[in-house]
């Protein structure tokens, strides 16, 4: 069951988007921060993030990050 458009994003979803807004010097640093701050594996983090890209609530919450990530996703798909 998908969430209602009127329902706010969960605290976890907002934390995922906040983490994604940051710049990272290395992939290892980002993965360490995912584990420490969110308490989830990097694989689960990217599953959640990918679902957020299609969530209109995420777009309303952080349009800059969501639109940037959608462009990256589309560019990857186009290269395939």
pLDDT band at 4 (very low <50, low <70, confident <90, very high): low
Higher pLDDT, 7 or 39: 39
Q: pLDDT (tens digit, 9 = 90+) per residue, 39-72?
A: 999 999 999 999 999 999 999 999 999 999 999 9
Structure token digits, residue 58: 């995420």
Q: What is the mean pLDDT of the chain?
A: 92
pTM here is 0.86
pLDDT at 11 over 90: yes
pLDDT band at 74 (very low <50, low <70, confident <90, very high): very high
Dihedral (Cα; 66, 70, 71, 74), 10-degree rounding = 180
CA distance 4 to 65: 21
């Amino acid at each position: 069951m998908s969430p209602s458009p009127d329902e706010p994003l969960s605290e976890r979803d907002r934390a995922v988007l906040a983490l994604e807004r940051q710049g990272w010097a290395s992939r290892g640093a980002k993965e360490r921060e995912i584990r420490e701050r969110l308490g989830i594996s990097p694989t689960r983090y990217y599953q959640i993030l990918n679902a957020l890209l299609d969530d209109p609530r995420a777009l309303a919450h952080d349009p800059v990050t969501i639109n940037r990530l959608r462009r990256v996703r589309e560019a990857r798909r186009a290269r395939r």
